[in-house]
Structure 1
Amino acid sequence: MLVNYSNDYDVKCELDACKTYPIITDSERGEMFCGGCGLVLVQNMSDISHESNGYSQEDFMKLTRTGPATSLTMHDKGLSTVIGINKDSSGNALSSKTKYEFNRLRTWDQRSKSRSTVALSKAFTLLNAMKTKLGIPDNVIENAAYIYRKAVNSKLTRGRTMASLISASLYAACRENNIPRTLDDIADAGNIERRILSRDLRTIIKKLGLKLNQYDTSSFISKISNNMNLKEKTKRDAFDILKRCELKEITAGKHPVAQAAASLYIACMINNEKISQKKFSSEAGVSDVTIRNRVTLIKKTLKITE
C-alpha cells in the first residue's frame, strides 16, 4: 500500500535488508522508491522545478504554469494565499467600504496564523539576513532551512533560542557544501555567543545524525587572500606549501584556518609582501600565537629559510 509522506522527513524503507540501499527519486513520475526492493515509498510528489525564463510578455504567457518554484526558506514554502492590493480582477480600484473590509480581512489573516508558522517566519527572516551578511549561495540556504525544519520536527527548540538553532543549521549546511565560514563568522552574523552556537551544533549533529566532513583548507586560503588583496603568485605559493604539508602529514588534527593563514604568511615572506602575523590573526579569526606555532612547524618540516 502506498503512503503519502511529508517532504520534510527523510524517507526510509522499513525492511532490514534494504537499510544499505539508497532511496531513488523519479522526478518524471513523481515517486520515490527503495533501491533494494523497489517498493514505492512516496507518490504524487509536487513538482518543485523552476519555470522556464520568459523575456517578453508573450513568452511569459506561454511558459508560465504555476508561478514560482516552492522553497524551504519560506515558512509556507511559497504556497500560501495572499490577499492582494486594493483592486478587483479588472484592475479597477475598490470602493472605500470594500477596501475597509479587505483591510480587516488582512489583519485577521495575520492574527490567525499559528505559533509555529510565526516562529518559522521569524527564523527564515533571520536566515535570509545572515545570508546577505555572509554572502552564502541559495542552495546552502535551502539546505540550512531543511536542517532547521528537521530540528523543529525533532522538538529540539525547547530550551534553545531560535537564533542559535538557525545559526547552527547554517553552519552545518556550510560544512556539508564546503563553504568556508568559521564558527566565529556565523556567531557574529547571528549575534550569539560562540559557546552557545557550539553547544547547539553538537546537539543537532547528535540528534539528527549528521555526518559533517572537515573543511578543505585550500578554500580558506582563497578566502583570506581575497579579503587581504594578496598577489596571485602569493596565493599559488601558499597552495604549494599546503600541498607539501599534506604530503609530510603535518596537517592532520590542525586547525584548517590557522594552517591556511600560516601557509599564506610564509608565501608572503617568500614574495616580499610585508604583512604582519597580527593582520593574518585578525583576518583569520585565530590567535597570532597559533599562527606562529604553525609557521615554525612548517618551516622546520619543509626546511624553508627566509
Structure 2
Amino acid sequence: MSTRNVYERGFDEGTGQTITGTTCPECPGELETDGGETSCQACGLIVDSYYLDHGATAWTDSEADRSGKRTGPPSTATRHDRGISSEIGRAVDSRGTHLSDKKRRQLSRLRRQHSRGRWGSKAERNLTHGLVDIARLTAALDLPRSLREQASTLFRRAQGEDLLRGRSIEGMAAGCVYACCRLAGITRSLAELTECAHVSERRVLNCYRTLNETLGLPIPPRSPSEFIGPIAADIKLPQAVVSRATEVAVRAHETGVSAGKHPAGFAAACLLSAATEHGVAVQQAEIAAAAGVCAVTVRNNRESVRELAASI
C-alpha cells in the first residue's frame, strides 16, 4: 500500500493527470476533501473525485531483497485454472538458495500429490484437454495470441452449454478455432485446419455448425476476395491479374452475385477470368487445385464472373 496521504494528491479519471494545489481554480476559495471528493468551500466546485493511485505499490521489504517482481501474470482463459494456480519449485527456493536433498525429496512428494489433485472433476480434465488442443492448433497455424484467448473462451462457453456431450473434444476445439478465424476475418480453410487437427474435416465442420447454430455466433458470410491472395500465390500469378480479380470479387460480394456460392471456387473463377483478360495462360485444373475445389465449380461460376467483369 502507498504510505503517502491520498488526500494530498488525486488522479483525474479521464486523463490520468495529477491534480495539485490548495486553492480553487475558479475563485480564491480554499479546497477541502470530504467523502472522496475535493470541492471548493466558497463556490462548491468539485475539483476531483477519483482517488485510485495507479502508481506502483510501495515496497515493504528491504532494499537488498527487492527483486522488482510483482504479483505474477494476469489471469488467462487459455488454462483451465485461468493461470492462478500455484506451482511447487524444485532445486531452489524463492530467494534462489539451493535446497538440501531432504527438502528436494519432500517437494517431489508434494509435487506428485499436487499434480494428482490438479483437476477437481472430469469436466476440468476435459477442459484442459480442449485448451491444450487449441494452443497446439493456433501455434501450428501461426495464429495470434488474441485468437487463442477467444477460442479458449468459446470452448468454455460450449462446455457450459453442454455441447461436448457425444462429440469429440479435439473436433470441438478445432471448431472453436475455425469459428474464431471466421469472426476475426482470418482466412484459414477447413483443409488447413484438419491437416493440423487429429480429427476429420467432417467432424470439425459438424462441431462448427453446432457452435454457430446453438450459440448464435455473429459470423459474416465470407467474401471471395479473401481467397484471391492465397490462390494467386500458390500458382504465382502476376500482380495485375490479382488486382483485377480482387476488384471483380469485391464487386460480386457487394452486389450479391457471389451469394450462395463457394467463396474459394468463385475466387478461382475471378482469377481465371482476370488471367484470360491479361493473356496469362492458366489451366482450370491448376487453379481449381489451388483453391481446393473441383474444375466443375470453377466452370459453373465462369459465366457470371465474365458478365460482372464486363460491366466494370
Task: Give the letter for the 1:235 counterpart.
Answer: V
Distance 2:178 2:264 in 1: 15
Task: Give the CA deviation at 1:217.
Answer: 2.2
**Residues 1:200 and 2:207 are matched in the alignment:** yes
- Contact 1:180–1:219 at 8 Å: present in 2 too? yes
Q: Which of 170, 173, 180 is the equivalent residue of 2:177? A: 170
Letter in 2 for 1:245: A
- One-letter amino acid matched to 1:106: R
Cα pair 1:83 1:106 within 8 Å, conserved: yes
Measure how far apart 1:209 and its partner are: 2.4
For residues 291 and 226 of structure 1, what CA distance do their matches in structure 2 show?
Answer: 18
Matching residue of 1:113: 118
Contact 1:178 1:216 (C-alpha < 8 Å) held by counterparts:
no
TM superposition shift of 1:120: 2.2
- CA distance in 2 between counterparts of 1:271 and 1:130 reads 39
Which of 87, 96, 104 is the equivalent residue of 1:91?
Answer: 96
Q: What does residue range 267-286 of structure 1 map to in structure 2 within 5 Å?
A: 267-286=274-293
The one-letter code of the counterpart of 2:117 is S
SS at 2:118's partner residue?
A: coil
CA 1:89–1:195 in 2, change beyond 3 Å: closer, same or farther?
Answer: closer
Give the secondary structure class of the aligned counterpart of 1:295.
Answer: helix
User: 1:248/1:127 Cα in 2 relative to 1: closer, same or farther (>3 Å)?
Assistant: closer
**Alignment match, 2:300:** 293
Shift of 1:234: 2.0
Report Cα offsets for 1:167-200 as digits up to 9, x if no partner.
1111111111111122333233213222222222
1:217 aligns with 224
**CA gap 1:250/1:208 in 2 versus in 1, 3 angstroms:** closer
1:121-163, CA deviations, whole angstroms, 9 ceiling, x for partnerless residues?
2222211221122222222221111111001111111111101
Task: Tell me the secondary structure at the aligned position of residue 147 of structure 2.
Answer: helix
Report if the CA contact (8 A) 1:204-1:210 is conserved: yes
2:239 match:
232
Residue 297 of structure 1: CA displacement? Answer: 3.0
Residue 254 of structure 1 and its aligned partner are, at CA, apart by 1.3
Kindly state the Cα deviation for residue 92 of structure 1 after the two structures are TM-superposed: 2.2
Aligned pair in 2 of structure 1 residues 68, 231: CA closer, same or farther (>3 Å)?
farther
Quickly say closer, same or farther: Cα 1:283–1:90, change in 2 above 3 A.
Answer: same
Residue number among 162, 167, 190 corresponding to 1:160 in the alignment: 167
- State TM-score, norm by structure 1: 0.72
Count of residue correspondences = 246
Relative to structure 1, the CA distance from residue 93 to residue 249 in structure 2 (aligned partners, 3 Å threshold; closer, same or farther) is closer
**Alpha-carbon distance change, 247 to 209 in structure 1, aligned in 2, over 3 angstroms:** closer
Please tell me the residue identity of whatever aligns with 2:183.
E
1:1-306 pair list within 5 angstroms? 65-114=70-119, 115-246=122-253, 249-303=256-310
Structure 1 or 2, whichever has the larger Rg, is: 2
Partner of 1:4: none
Are the equivalent residues in 2 in contact too, given 1:281–1:287 (CA < 8 A)?
yes
* Consecutive unaligned residues in structure 2, runs of 5 or more: 1-15, 17-65
Distance 1:161 1:302, change over 3 A: same
With over 3 angstroms needed to count, the CA separation of the structure-2 counterparts of 1:274 and 1:191, relative to structure 1, is farther
Q: Alpha-carbon deviations, 1:225-265, whole Å to 9, x = none? A: 33444322221111122244346642121111111121122
For residues 104-135 of structure 1, what are the alpha-carbon distances to aligned partners after superposition, in whole Å with 9 as ceiling and x for unaligned? 11111111122333322222221122112222
Separation (CA, whole Å) in 2 of partners of 1:121 and 1:182: 25
Divergent runs of 4+, >4 A: 246-249
Q: Which stretch shifts more, 149-158 or 137-146?
A: 137-146
* 1: CA distance, partners of 2:295 / 2:271: 13
Q: Is contact 2:272-2:287 (8 Å) kept?
A: yes
